[in-house]
Amino acid sequence: MKIVFRLVLAAALVALGVWLWFVLFPSPEKVIRKRLMGLAHTASFSSNEGNLARLAAAQNLAGFFATNVEININVPGRIQHNFLGRDEIKEAVLGARSTLGGLKVQFPDINITVVPDKQSAVADLTVEARVSGEQDLIVQEMKFTLQKTDGEWLVTRVETVRTLSILHFEPPRFPSIVLT
């Protein structure tokens, strides 16, 4: 009985050690996932927001991105924007927060690939956004490129992934211009 008790105690201690290890030294995937969830949370807002809060939120959101970040958003029929650098992001966030009644952003699926040197990573994710007062949900697959800078994972590039692509337009059989 004593041996069994000791074995159980040893197993519990090992499990606690493993859990503590993962809590104290999380994997890059876990850190990036947490950071992206934070980004989605910071990007969301409700209508009753003061000017100061708006400014602080824009500052916070810009902090998730590298200074030379490049963002290319192309959601057909909805949004088409390119941003370069943190300042442009701040401006866009302030503009959106003052014009939209509210926004809820979520990343329901995140696939992270960390480069072997563990200094950069790519996250393929689904963005789910709901604008207050609009019935339709905005759903878009996007690719985030991240880089570890001073111990912090910063987004360096954001691009739209065309889930349903139209790539192979067949050349017209009868040319519209006939040279004689």
Partner 1 sequence: MPAQKKQAAQTARTPRLPNWLRIALVGRNPKVTLARIVVLTVTCFVVFKFILLPIRIEGGSMLPTYRESSVNLVNRLAYLWHGPQRGDVVGIRLAGFHVMYMKRIIGLPGETVAFVNGHVLIDDKVLDEPYEKYDCDWNLPPVKLDANEYYVVGDNRTMPPQYHTQGVASRDRIIGKLLL
Cβ burial of 67 (10 Å; 0-12, 13-18, 19+) is exposed
Closer CB to partner 1, 2 or 168, in the complex: 168
134: contact with partner 1 by CB under 8 A: no
Find the shortest distance in angstroms from Cβ 75 to partner 1. Answer: 9
Of 15-74, binders to partner 1 (CB under 8 A) are none
Find the shortest distance in angstroms from Cβ 172 to partner 1. Answer: 8
Q: For residue 6, how far is the Cα from the chain centroid?
A: 46
Backbone angles phi, psi at 7, to 5 degrees: -65, -45
145: contact with partner 1 by CB under 8 A: no
Q: Report how far residue 148's alpha carbon sits from residue 131's, in angstroms, rounded to the nearest whole number.
A: 32
Closer CB to partner 1, 91 or 141, in the complex: 141
Find the shortest distance in angstroms from Cβ 169 to partner 1. Answer: 5
Strand order in the sheet with 79-84: 79-84, 65-75, 152-160, 138-149, 120-131, 103-114
- Give the binding site for partner 1 (CB under 8 A): 76-77, 108-111, 124-126, 128, 136-137, 139-141, 161-170, 172
